[in-house]
Amino acid sequence: MPTHLPTPITPADIRDAADRIRSRVRVTPVIQPESATLAARRGVWLKLESLQHTGSFKPRGAFNSVLSVPASEIPPAGVTAASGGNHGLAVAHVARALDLPATIFIPEVSPRVKRERIAALGATVRVGGAVYDDAQAECDRFASESGALEIHPYDTTETITGQATLAMELESQIGVPDTVIVAVGGGGLAAGVAAWFGDRARIVTVEPRSSACLHAAMSSRRPVPVPVSGVAADSLGARQVGDLAFSLLHHHVDLSLTVSDEAIVETQRKLFAELRIVAEPGGATALAALISGTYTPADGEFVAVIICGGNTDPSVLA
């Protein structure tokens, strides 16, 4: 069964995960953006994981988590998850693909568009409190009572290894960048990037200033709870970075940055206005560090930025 134990994640583990999920996920494109805003940054590449199934990177970890369990051990109650939206969408998608029941617990901050899409995928949707941690507590209770297989959004070996396949894929497309810029919610994607690249690339993490659990953990040298609010709280709103994720990130993150909600919204709108790329606030957060000048690459620096999600209300882009 999936475990929270802080076991090392090796390149071989990541390759195995890639083989396991290969037929289930998309290879998402990497582009060099041609836009007025990014014209002077010729070494910047965007990994458009917003074009993954369900609109975010999350199916990678969700498929790997479920497919790591023998089919005979999946309980009759199926799978369950707590999610600000994207993980719930991913688990619902996985459950439909594998013909399993799914029960998804979401916080009140989840956008209507994500709630409706989770339900449309056939999952049972339950509101489990104000923010993500409340929904997680309800999900834990349901899993204990029903026996459903709980798929954690960011802090199991299986989830992180699945997310790491994105970094492996990125290297196969453009080689090893000097720097990878990645947003952080609970830390699973960033930990996967760190697990694959290790010390071969500079890892820069970016969080909303109003929901910065990794930034707080890096300062405190341990995971600590933080307040959660702001435009990206539905996808980057973990109150505390995952223990397993932090065990990887505190060794490999070269720079932990935060950006304002205003910078995130500006980047989200510029992505659409200049490149016709739809990104949710969480998906625009990594690039916001570049657009706002919070991170300035050196001359000739080869930078990959992960656009990790595109689930947003289109009306906000107008």
- pTM, 2 dp: 0.93
Say if residue 165 is in the same domain as residue 19: yes
Residue 165 within a domain: yes
Tell me the pLDDT of the chain averaged across its residues: 93
Query: Please, what is the Cα angle at 34 between 316 and 235, to 5 degrees?
Result: 35
CA distance 267 to 285: 8
**Domain tally for the chain?**
2
What pLDDT sits at residue 40? 57
**Average pLDDT over every residue of 148-166:** 96
What pLDDT sits at residue 89? 94
Say if residue 91 is in the same domain as residue 218: no
DSSP string spanning 208-248?
Answer: ETTS-HHHHHHHHTS-------STTHHHH--SS--HHHHHH
What pLDDT sits at residue 41? 66
Residue 215 within a domain: yes
Query: Please, what is the Cα angle at 168 between 179 and 4, to 5 degrees?
Result: 100
Residue 130 within a domain: yes
Residue 2 within a domain: no
Token output for 203: 């890892």
Say if residue 205 is in the same domain as residue 297: yes
Residue 65 within a domain: no
What pLDDT sits at residue 29? 98
Say if residue 164 is in the same domain as residue 141: no
Say if residue 173 is in the same domain as residue 304: yes
Residue 253 has pLDDT above 80, yes or no: yes
Residue 4 has pLDDT above 50, yes or no: no
Say if residue 174 is in the same domain as residue 307: yes
Mark which of 89, 114, 147 sits at the end of a domain. 147
CA distance 153 to 57: 11
Say if residue 140 is in the same domain as residue 251: no
Do residues 286 and 181 touch, judged by C-beta distance below 8 A? yes
The residues, ordered by sequence, that sit 6+ positions from 13 with a Cβ below 8 Å of its Cβ are 157, 161
Higher pLDDT, 148 or 41: 148
Residue 285 within a domain: yes
Q: For residue 227, what is the domain's CATH number?
A: 3.40.50.1100
Residue 83 within a domain: yes
Helix (H, G, I), strand (E, B) or coil at 74: coil
**Structural domain harbouring 192:** 11-57+156-316
Say if residue 50 is in the same domain as residue 160: yes
Residue 5 has pLDDT above 50, yes or no: no
Say if residue 162 is in the same domain as residue 142: no
Say if residue 234 is in the same domain as residue 164: yes
Say if residue 163 is in the same domain as residue 310: yes
Q: Predicted confidence band at 3 (pLDDT cuts at 50, 70, 90)?
A: very low
Say if residue 98 is in the same domain as residue 208: no
Residue 184 within a domain: yes
CA distance 238 to 222: 15
Q: Predicted confidence band at 51 (pLDDT cuts at 50, 70, 90)?
A: very high
What pLDDT sits at residue 192? 98
Higher pLDDT, 6 or 173: 173
Residue 37 has pLDDT above 80, yes or no: no
CA distance 265 to 77: 39
CA distance 119 to 313: 17
Which pLDDT tens digit goes with each residue over 162-218?
999 999 999 999 999 999 999 999 999 999 999 999 999 999 999 999 999 999 999
